[in-house]
Amino acid sequence: MSPDMPHPDQVFELLSTRRSIRKYLPDPVREPLLRRLLEAATWAPSAHNRQPWRFVVIREPEARSSLIEAMEARLIADLRVDQAPEEIILREATHSRRRLTMSPALILVGLSMADMDVYPDPARQSHEHTMAVQSTAMAAQSLMLMAHAEGLATCWLCPPLFCADTVRAALGLPENFEAQCVIALGYPAEERAKTRRRFDEVTLYR
Ligand SMILES: Cc1cc2nc3c(=O)[nH]c(=O)nc-3n(C[C@H](O)[C@H](O)[C@H](O)COP(=O)(O)O)c2cc1C
């Protein structure tokens, strides 16, 4: 093993101690560090090496407000269609707002199908799309692990996936930007324990 590589025990420690954090210190995440995380993310594997991931660093307070307000309005509209009771709507909207304001930094993660293969039939096209999703999730995971190695904390937040058109409009993003999640990022203000099912409960051998 190259002396420059981390010891496998250190890698295992990194992987097993990352937690989704939902309370952050107000300290900002400096720009060079953000850039390092983004660069680390782009070393993820991707289908055909097409690198379908796209990132939006939500830097300006106005951009964050636009995103939060648009997503909240959409959530409320969706819940009204579901005929959810008003107190549930209020609770969900408050929860959504809290999640998107809890961290000093937000990185929206999306994908673009622009460079992926195109198939004439829906089945293969759907698989191609899945491969873009898989590649993008790997990049997001790399970003989160790099953040953890840098002493930062993250939390994957899924709501943008449910309203990709709203997200695109709120931030003026290209038509081919398909939001997957937003990653909350900052210095942790809580510690979280988590259990996992044993790996042999989820593994078959043949
Ligand atoms: C696809 C995906 C969607 C998630 N969505 C949310 C979310 O919307 N809100 C949230 O607080 N956490 C979300 N999480 C974080 C999970 O709740 C978390 O990873 C899980 O509980 C395991 O905890 P750990 O990451 O601390 O080990 C999501 C994670 C993944 C991978």
Distance 157 CA to ligand 1 centre (A): 7
Mark 63-93 as b/e (b = at least 16 C-beta within 10 Å): bbebbbebbbebbbeebeeeeeeeeebeebb
3-state secondary structure of 116: coil
CATH number of 20-188: 3.40.109.10
The token pair at 24 is: 């952050």
Please state the atom number of ligand 1 nearest to the C-alpha of residue 21.
26
| CA nearest to 143, candidates 155, 134, 131, 130 | 155
Q: Which residues contact 146 (CB under 8 A, 6 or more apart)?
A: 36, 37, 40, 41
Q: Residues of the chain with pLDDT > 90: what percent?
A: 97
Q: Residue 1: which pLDDT band, with cuts at 50, 70 and 90?
A: low
Report the distance separating Cα 8 and Cα 16, nearest Å. 12
- pLDDT tens for each residue of 133-184: 999 999 999 999 999 999 999 999 999 999 999 999 999 999 999 999 999 9
Distance 20 CA to ligand 1 centre (A): 6
Taking CA atoms only, the protein residue closest to ligand 1 atom 17 is: 20
Taking CA atoms only, the protein residue closest to ligand 1 atom 1 is: 158
**pLDDT recorded at residue 2:** 74
Taking CA atoms only, the protein residue closest to ligand 1 atom 20 is: 20
Distance 97 CA to ligand 1 centre (A): 17
Please state the atom number of ligand 1 nearest to the C-alpha of residue 196.
27
| Ligand 1 pocket test target in 19, 97, 158, 197 with most atoms within 8 Å of CB | 158
3-state secondary structure of 22: coil
Pocket residues: Cβ below 6 A from ligand 1? 19-20, 22, 155-159, 192, 194
**pLDDT recorded at residue 3:** 78
What is the H or E stretch that residue 203 is in?
Answer: none
